[in-house]
């Protein structure tokens, strides 16, 4: 596998699992990668951590991500189904250390 290519398993809202090959040498957030991979992510705020429509649950690999910012945590606090594994995909830029991560899409559809 290419040194700058990782695999991320994505569980869609209907339970379908797919493995995405994600380049880590591009400056895209996980939200942008999911949208480009044709997942239904509203991203109403455009990736500013203001709407939480890109809410994901990190099923595996949470320890490989940087800590959430105060702004991200504040937005997650507004969600009734957020927990310790919740993150906003717009705030995540994946690196080689995230290879094998597994996420579940939870964000609102409307």
- DSSP states of 32-85 as a string? HHHHHTT-----TTSSSSSS-TTEEEEEE-GGGSPPPPHHHHHHHTT-TT--TT
Number of structural domains (the chain) is 1
Closest Cα to residue 63, out of 34, 47, 87, 27? 87
101 in Cβ contact with 87 (< 8 Å): no
79 in a structural domain: yes
110 in a structural domain: no
SS3 88: strand
Question: What would the two tokens of residue 87 be?
Answer: 């993150």
| pLDDT at residue 68 in the model | 97
What residue numbers bound the domain in which 80 lies? 5-105
All residue ranges of the chain with pLDDT < 50 are none
78 in a structural domain: yes
| pLDDT at residue 43 in the model | 92
| pLDDT at residue 17 in the model | 98
| pLDDT at residue 3 in the model | 84
| pLDDT at residue 27 in the model | 87
């Amino acid at each position: 596998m290419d040194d700058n290519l990782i695999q991320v398993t994505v569980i869609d809202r209907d339970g379908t699992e797919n493995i995405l090959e994600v380049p880590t040498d591009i400056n895209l957030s996980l939200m942008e990668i999911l949208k480009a991979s044709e997942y239904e992510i509203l991203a109403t705020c455009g990736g500013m951590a203001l709407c939480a429509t890109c809410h994901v649950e990190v099923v595996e690999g949470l320890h490989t991500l940087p800590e959430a910012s105060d702004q991200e945590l504040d937005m997650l606090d507004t969600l009734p189904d957020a927990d310790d594994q919740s993150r906003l995909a717009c705030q995540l830029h994946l690196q080689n250390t995230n290879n094998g991560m597994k996420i579940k899409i939870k964000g609102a559809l409307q």
